[in-house]
A and B are shown apart, each in its own frame.
Chain A
Amino acid sequence: MPSPAIPPGAADRRSFVKKVFAGVLGAVALLSPLAAGVTMFFDPVRRRKRQDAGMIKVATLDSVPKDGLPRKFAVVASRTDAWNRFPRVPVGAVYLRRTGPRKVEAFNVACPHAGCLVDFDEDNKSYLCPCHNSTFTVEGKRSADSPSPRDLDALEVQVRKDNGIYVKFQQFQMGQAAKVPLA
């Protein structure tokens, strides 16, 4: 309330400046801690996954039968979870399938739809996701009515001289047609 001793115009001006300052200072005080907190909360966004995986040995050639049907193998590698580093733990699994005497095909077991792990159904010779019933052929091609937006994620694979099967184990963004590695 302006006091009657001060001319009305000056009071309005002074009052306006006060209001602006009250608003700005109040906002700065209130929002600063919030901004600090939000900045910290966004930390995972700028953090990149440690690219140390490279090619991981998951099996030997002898352990993949010659029947051309896929078998599942665990992928053991070191994993970093925030403040912990776990050496040699299972980080996922792959399906391996022989396509030639020394040729092997590898798929990530995670369904590209929602990330459940697909099972290989030996009776129907196809992959079946137990969550939303996506199906894939032995070659990893999705069937037309599957909820999955893309085929099973094929992984880079090498059969080396020691008969070891090496896989570049990667996870990909789920739920979209494009196969984008998670970084």
Chain B
Amino acid sequence: MKPLLNWLDARTGAVSLVRRILYEQIPGGARWRHCWGTALLFTFFMQAITGFFLLTSYSASAQSAWESVYYIQSEMLAGWLVRGLHHFTSQIFIALLAIHVLQSVIFHAYTAPREFNWWLLLLLVPLGMGMSVTGWLLPFDQHGYWAARVPLNIAGIIPGIGALQQKLLLGGTEVGHLTLTRFLSLHAGFLAAATGTVLLVLCAWDRRHRPVVGANPNVAAPYWPDQALRDAIVCLAVLTTALFFVIRPRLIDPAAPLGAELGAPADPSEPFSAARPVWFVLFLFQFLKYFPGESEVWGAVVIPTLVLLMLVMMPFVGRWKFGRRFNVGFILGVAGGVTMLAWLAIAEDRGDPIYRLAVEDATRTGRRAVELAQSPAGISTLGAVALLRTDPYVQGPKIFAKHCSSCHRYGGHDGTGRIPKDPQRAPDLKGFGSREWLTEFLNPDNISSTKFFGGTKFKDGKMAKFVKKEFTGDTPAEKEQLRKVIIAVSAEAGLKSQRDADKQDARHIAEGRKLFDAEIGCSDCHRFRGGDEETSAPSLSGYASRQWLIGMISNPGHIRFYGPRNDRMPVFGDDKILEPQTIALVADWLRGEWYEPPPPTNTLTSASAPAGGK
């Protein structure tokens, strides 16, 4: 063995290098506090490894970035693990860096001849921030998109070079293909190489000038094995922490996917009120709130740069009589300020119900995007954003809230969970056309209530009078007749939720259709399955079906519906208030027609194994 090693060493010098590293005497012996640097280096290596493998499956374009990340996260073997580790380790890197900087100031590890060690360490701060800003956008989900707009804007407000710098980063005037390609090449290319180089040089220089402060100068021990063991334990602790964060979502919510969250695909036209930067930038986010108008450049650029300059000057400041104490006071002040600002931001959001709703909505929409991506239809070349734009489950409530909820309600709210300001003036449409809805509507006690006709001019109209007169004090036989009519009318809707019930009750439906004409006398006013077009009440042929609803929303004043008796309902389609696709979306949503994934067979494997529907 020995001759072989000697032969190798004579040609490469590798063996003596390893020996020098392992057996170098460390002044003061093995200490836990020497582990921070190693932990930082290990964190970087973890990022490099997971980052490389993410890069093997990532596609940087506005049309495929989210899609490829979704594929990594939800479809690929261990994709969630690799992405999760990359996501959380990046945050550990920043945390370790902050601790390392703090530690270096407190133990004044910047003093001669370690000035360059200190400056290199400080260089990691902008590099780490740059890595974070560029990496955050790459999944191209709503979180990343909206969070990236702020640093891009800050790049633009720097006097003189701002606009140019912003254009170079964006690759144009808006976030798009070129922003992603640029950010990726900065993230995985330039910044990664720079960070790696700085860390390696820092390691070499730390060996050249060991920080000896606080160490007993009379004691020394080799790196191997005492310090190496401590380093290994610390690296394992870093890994364990990252793994904990990867599985943490599942510990909080059993339905949550493992690993890092993936929001809905970025959509510049879809507001995202849940936009917040990553936790270690929250302080800056909060800080900006205190700089009105054009003074923003002070908060976003000038003050942070001055603080960083102050840190750079620490080796010189430290030479003065009270310099070291001043430096410690300064760094503690900065750390305290940063912590307080971040805490303020969190506290403000905690107490904000609108923000909470926005976060819930963001999570729901993000998971829905994944569901749709996994549906048999899959992601077309139009990208995942088109899936959400054409999904009744996502769009229905928004359309309803905006265009319908000033009069109608959906289960008492506006479809999105908020209570509209305007009083209810038209029926609650949750479950519209279903047996339950019709049963409740045709109850003499309910028909003139606010939930149904109470807010309309039909409150005391013919229908309300008819229901109150005919259906009050019904005998059980009459009640049975009414039930069959309800089943028959509701069957016209062909609701997905009633498919089985409609099939089962075919005989009752047939009876109900006859009763509609004969016994109950609905056909005196309503047209039903043929008959006179010119009736005094809306046609119930195909009642609450997709086509019927689209017709009703498009033009409630049509002779098929309310005709001239229409009460204030806008003519959404024929007046071109809404596009036909929009009307169809809200009709589908009211009818519960949207893609639903098959129930997961095993929740534990659903994150790694291809989900159902394939």
Does B associate with A?
A: yes
* In contact, B575 and A82 (Cβ under 8 angstroms): no
What chain B residues lie within 8 Å of A84 (beta carbons)?
Answer: 62-63, 177
Known: A60-B577, A116-B275, A123-B421. A44 touches B178 (CB 8 A): yes
Q: Which residues of A contact B292 (CB under 8 A)?
A: 144-147
Contact (Cβ within 8 A) B149 A149: no
Interface size class of B (residues with CB under 8 A): 35 or more
Are B153 and A114 interface neighbours, CB within 8 A?
yes
Contact A130 B273, beta carbon cutoff 8 Å: yes
Q: Residues of B contacting A149 with CB < 8 Å?
A: 293-294, 296
B164 within 8 A of A: yes
- In whole angstroms, what is the CA distance A115 to B152 when docked? 10
Residue pair A114, B149 in contact (C-beta under 8 Å): yes
B residues contacting A by CB (< 8 A) are 62-63, 146, 149-150, 153-154, 156-157, 163-164, 167-168, 170-174, 176-178, 267-275, 285, 288-289, 291-294, 296-297, 354-355, 358, 389, 402-403, 406, 421, 570, 575-578
Q: Residue-by-residue, is A136-174 near B (CB-CB < 8 Å gives 1, otherwise 0)?
A: 000000001111111000000000000000000001011
Q: Which of A65-123 contact B (CB under 8 A)?
A: 65, 71-72, 74-75, 81-84, 90-93, 109, 113-117, 119, 122-123
Name A's interface SS. Answer: loop
Quick check: A41 and B168 within 8 Å, CB to CB? yes
By a CB distance below 8 angstroms, the chain A residues around B153 are: 113-115, 174-175
Question: Is there contact, CB below 8 Å, between A130 and B275?
Answer: yes
Looking at B156, B292, B421, B578, which has the most chain A CB atoms within 10 Å of its CB? Answer: B292
* Complex Cα gap A81–B476 (Å): 68
Let me know if B294 and A176 touch, CB within 8 A: yes
Q: How far is the CB of B576 from chain A (nearest CB, A)?
A: 5
Contact status B173-A171, CB under 8 Å? yes
The complex places the Cα of A6 from the Cα of B571 at a distance, in Å, of 102
How many Å lie between the Cα of A113 and that of B300 in the bound state? 12
A65 to B577, CA, bound (A): 11
Which of B149, B172, B421 lies in contact with A82, CB distance below 8 A?
B172
What are 21 contact pairs spanning A and B, CB under 8 A? A44-B167, A45-B167, A60-B576, A63-B577, A63-B578, A65-B406, A82-B178, A84-B62, A90-B389, A91-B268, A116-B149, A117-B272, A130-B274, A130-B275, A131-B275, A132-B289, A148-B293, A175-B153, A177-B293, A177-B294, A182-B174
Q: Is the CB of B291 within 8 A of A147?
A: yes
Contact A122 B421 (CB under 8 A): yes
Q: Count the A residues whose beta carbon is within 8 Å of the partner chain — how many?
A: 51
| B11: min CB distance to chain A, Å | 28
CB nearest to A41 among chain B residues: B168
CA distance A127 to B8 in the complex (A): 72
Contacts of A150 in B (CB 8 A): 293
In the complex the two chains form, is B172's CB within 8 Å of A92's CB? no
A132 near B288 with CB under 8 A, answer yes
Which residues of the other chain, A, contact B273 by a CB distance below 8 angstroms? 116-117, 119, 130
The one of A71, A74, A148, A182 that contacts B269, using a Cβ cutoff of 8 Å: A74
Cα–Cα distance between A66 and B461 once the two chains are bound (Å): 28
Measured CA separation A60–B354 after assembly (Å): 30
B156 touches A175 (CB 8 A): yes
CB distance from A60 to the nearest CB of B (A): 5
B150→A44 contact, CB < 8 A:
no
In the complex, which residues of chain A have a beta carbon less than 8 angstroms from the beta carbon of B570?
62-63
A13 on the B face (CB < 8 A): no
A130 with B358, Cβ < 8 A, contacts A174-B156, A175-B156, A182-B173 known: yes
A contact residues around B173 at 8 Å (CB): 49, 171, 182-183
Q: B181's closest neighbor in chain A, by CB?
A: A82
Closest Cβ of chain A to B17, distance in Å, is 29
A45 and B146 form a contact (CB under 8 A): no
Tell whether, in the assembled complex, residue B154 and residue A175 are in contact, meaning their CB atoms are under 8 Å apart: yes
The reply to whether B269 and A81 contact each other, CB–CB distance below 8 Å, is no
Contacts of B270 in A (CB 8 A): 90
**Given A44-B170, A114-B154, A132-B288, 16 more contacts at CB 8 Å?**
A44-B168, A84-B62, A92-B268, A113-B296, A117-B273, A119-B271, A119-B273, A122-B421, A130-B273, A131-B275, A131-B285, A146-B292, A174-B156, A175-B156, A175-B297, A176-B294
Contacts of B178 in A (CB 8 A): 44, 82
